[in-house]
Amino acid sequence: MSMQDPLADMLTHIRNAQMARHESVVFNASKIKKAVSDVLKEEGYIKNYIVEGDVKKQIRISLKYYMGEPVIQKIKRISRPGLRNYVPLDKLPTINNGLGVAIISTSQGIMTDRSARLKKVGGEVLCTVF
């Protein structure tokens, strides 16, 4: 069975692991998954992540909880292979009045909506997290 959307699979792994109250979650690694994990760590949504393995690399994310509840309340895939969602600088989304983040793939790399505004670039809205 071929996987059509690996990033959506990663987000689903995280969502399911948090519902089951797991401490960490493991999935196959790729450059885009590593970049999204970087953003999640910088924004404080996960504790840490490491890339494991030599031949078949995997990413292990340590999930973060606050008072027994997951820090990530909602994580949603926006742009998908069947319907890409590109936005210019002036239409970048604001998530929960700035309390959440939109992860954007730009020409300067994968970053949050706030970083994209500071660098004055638009791009593809990969997912939203709050």
Is residue 1 in some structural domain? no
Task: Take residue 18 and report the two structure tokens written for it.
Answer: 């948090």
Tell me which residue range forms the domain holding 51: 6-70
- Residues 80 and 50 both lie in one domain: no
Provide the pLDDT for residue 1.
44
Q: Are residues 57 and 27 in the same domain?
A: yes
* 83 and 55 in a common domain: no
Per-residue burial over 17-43, b = 16 or more CB atoms within 10 Å of its CB, e = otherwise: bbeeeeeebebebeeebebbbebbbeb
89 in Cβ contact with 116 (< 8 Å): yes
Residue 42 lies in a domain: yes
Whether 64 and 80 share a structural domain: no
Encode pLDDT of 11-41 as tens digits. Answer: 999 999 999 999 999 999 999 999 999 999 9
The length of the chain in residues reads 130
What pLDDT, in 10s, does the model give residues 58-99? 999 999 999 999 999 999 999 999 999 999 999 999 999 999
Instruction: Check residue 38 and give its pLDDT.
Output: 98
Q: Are 93 and 55 within one domain?
A: no
The yes-or-no verdict on residue 2 having pLDDT over 80 is no
Instruction: Tell me the longest C-alpha to C-alpha distance in the chain.
Output: 43
The pLDDT, as a whole number, for residue 57 is 97
pLDDT at residue 3 in the model: 78
How many structural domains is the chain composed of?
2
Residue 90 burial (CB < 10 Å; 0-12/13-18/19+)? Answer: exposed
* Within-domain flag for 12: yes
Q: Are residues 49 and 27 in the same domain?
A: yes
CATH number at residue 31: 3.30.1370.30
